[in-house]
Structure 1
């Protein structure tokens, strides 16, 4: 007998404040404690990409990244939010430099006795095509800065919106201390359109939304341990999850260093007969040995 699905809590759904509907600056401010948010290197500083206008693209005066410092649950923190509405959240030289510099400054604060954590709000397709190699280089700097800071304080990633997190920034997401997703969020190294264009529609149909979310969506990424927490699209729920993630501190071993676990998961899958998404979660759950044997 199939278990009955509980009816939706319409009062809770109607009373929530959607995190996804906010822009990057609003998202960052909403996570921080009231009255503590202070933006660094904001739009009035007009630090723009010099590479977009010559290619016919109107630049953004903050290059699509908001860096907001404040307190999170009473603790010093910096929130770095990518604006999904500008160039699909693409990372270029300036936006990447802002991100890497903010993380490095947080690490410096820690060494100076100010325990500062970081939150990355990841809504991005990866490198901005107009800046190609410059974008790749700056994502490498971002990854390096995450590794520097996560040894001192948690670096929490959040993937909330349907744009998702792909490309080089998905590697940055994988380096985060903890990763929080909503059911609407997506995470993958290559986007569905990229896979379809390279390998054909038989490999991945980019128009099949249920297929895409069954593989890249937040629920599946949490089931398969590529993300840690699944939360609803609600400001209060996300803020609570982020505060909890920071409060857990630095783990004994970060996900990206648990190589034995991931090797066991890869070996458990037969590429000639791959499981469907629900089956993958079950296969991977069985593949990982008990913690003492990892």
Structure 2
């Protein structure tokens, strides 16, 4: 019998509970506050009381921490005005705590397709605030991102993932700027068949993202494994160099990418195989 629960199968609130020390969980703006999107009902969509965003304070290994978890089952984890504001504000408050001499770590559970189309520019503005807040906070403490499954992390929130101090994925995770259906819609099914699951995971799955150096740790789908990886990342402290500081290396690699050939896993592995980054 399996002793470790599946992290993927947990909802956002359960993930936050699992990551924080037992008994330390305290949710901010919980569903009973009734702060939800004012835009969805008018479009015939039933809103959710927490707008699909869970913000919890507590401790991880006894240290003050905030865990922010996106509910992928609600509107594909999309970011709207309210959900985005909750995440951005939590990160901003964590940065303020650090400036006031109260060390506060941050862990983000990212299951999101990016901006919520029904809220358009409001969601985009919120994601921009999240980006700025991560860059601010990571100067003081590691900001650890987790992409586990089943939604993955796409759109503007994939940029948020890239801004994290450390990024943890499972093999079931997917990470990319544009989702498979969007690429297929724009480039055609011959270029990118969104129904070809082995192909999609070979391009954007956790394993290839780890091999490409775009994430820091690849773990099995188990709560204990994820928690151990989070603890390891937090203990590393602030990185000497962020991945985002190394953009010239990645741009140079992309300049060597042969767009005349159908991209595949082998080509990606060869592209990012250099050790001089």
Question: How far apart, CA to CA, are the structure 1 residues paired with 2:272 and 2:79?
Answer: 32
Question: How far apart, CA to CA, are the structure 1 residues paired with 2:146 and 2:172?
Answer: 12
Determine which of 76, 80, 94 is the counterpart of 1:88: 76
What RMSD over aligned residues (CA atoms) do the two structures have, in Å? 1.2
Matched, 1:74 2:62: yes
Secondary structure of the residue aligned to 1:258 is helix
Question: How far apart, CA to CA, are the structure 2 residues paired with 1:203 and 1:267?
Answer: 19
Question: How far apart, CA to CA, are the structure 2 residues paired with 1:207 and 1:274?
Answer: 17
Secondary structure of the residue aligned to 2:273 is helix
Matched, 1:253 2:235: no
Determine which of 26, 48, 52 is the counterpart of 1:64: 52
Whichever of the two has the greater Rg, that structure is 1
In structure 2, the residue matched to 1:25 is 13
Matched, 1:265 2:217: no
Determine which of 257, 265, 268 is the counterpart of 1:280: 268
> Could you tell me the TM-score, scaled by structure 2's length?
0.97
Instruction: Structure 2: state its 5+ residue gaps.
Output: none
* Aligned residues between the structures: 277
> Could you tell me the TM-score, scaled by structure 1's length?
0.91
Secondary structure of the residue aligned to 1:215 is helix
Shift of 1:260: 2.7
> What does residue range 1-294 of structure 1 map to in structure 2 within 5 Å?
14-273=2-261, 276-286=264-274, 288-289=275-276
Secondary structure of the residue aligned to 2:160 is helix
Secondary structure of the residue aligned to 1:238 is helix
Question: How far apart, CA to CA, are the structure 2 residues paired with 1:241 and 1:191?
Answer: 26
Question: How far apart, CA to CA, are the structure 2 residues paired with 1:283 and 1:256?
Answer: 18
Secondary structure of the residue aligned to 1:17 is coil
Question: How far apart, CA to CA, are the structure 2 residues paired with 1:226 and 1:22?
Answer: 25
